[in-house]
Amino acid sequence: MKKVLLTLGLAILLFTGSAAMAAPAAYRSSPEVNIGEKLALYIPNRLIDALDLFSVNLGVGPIVEIQMMGTRAVWGGAGIGMAWKAYKGYNRQYGFGTEQGWYWSFVVVSGEEYGVVNNTSLVKKYFEHREGFPTPDRWPYNYFDGARDYWQIGGSLGCLVTGDLYIHPVEWFDFALGFLLIDVKGDDLTFDDFR
């Protein structure tokens, strides 16, 4: 019996040892799984994820708007005009841009012809012409690189001076799981970002 247990234990040891030797190559080829890199950049990534939790945009221009949003699927308000805005926006958009157009919404029915038409390099340009119910499958709402967050909650208010304030529930999920080294959005810094 001792010989069988010893042979079984040796086989398990050899199997787990060969699996452990093969694992580092897989980790090196995929930066999402590099534990050393995740630990080295842990604090900067948690701080950046904390900044992703909300958006604040401030602007001036010939614009009148008021809206409250409980996601793009359920929101109400209207706006028309143009504003030059400073952005701390969704998907790490920082900079300046010109928004223009019109929009309206009543609970689940809406229409818009609105977008960012001029921008600095870190603000994404888009223009959306739509009527009816907004769906999250359009590019501006792309989870990883879209200009707008379909799931945001907040609102805008302005007349000549305007401001937007939104929280991003999906970013809250990404922030919480980041403490467990899980990057849902795939936006954590890696060593490649510093090269």
pTM of the model: 0.77
Output the CA–CA distances (angstroms, integers) from residue 183 to 12, 29, 120, 125, in the order listed: 32, 17, 27, 26
Condensed to tens digits (0 to 9), the pLDDT of residues 65-121 reads 999 999 999 999 999 999 999 999 999 999 999 999 999 999 989 999 999 999 999
CA atoms within 13 A on the CB side of 173: 9
Look at residue 175 in the predicted model and tell me its pLDDT: 95
Look at residue 31 in the predicted model and tell me its pLDDT: 46
SS3 49: helix
| pLDDT exceeds 50 at position 10 | no
Confidence of residue 195 (pLDDT cuts 50, 70, 90): confident
Percent pLDDT > 70 in the chain is: 83
Condensed to tens digits (0 to 9), the pLDDT of residues 120-168 reads 999 999 999 999 888 899 889 998 889 999 999 999 999 999 999 999 9
Condensed to tens digits (0 to 9), the pLDDT of residues 34-63 reads 888 889 999 999 999 999 999 999 999 999
Mean pLDDT of the chain: 85
> What backbone torsions phi and psi does residue 55 show, to the nearest 5 degrees?
-125, 140
Look at residue 3 in the predicted model and tell me its pLDDT: 54
Q: What are the tokens at 161?
A: 């001076």
| pLDDT exceeds 70 at position 27 | no
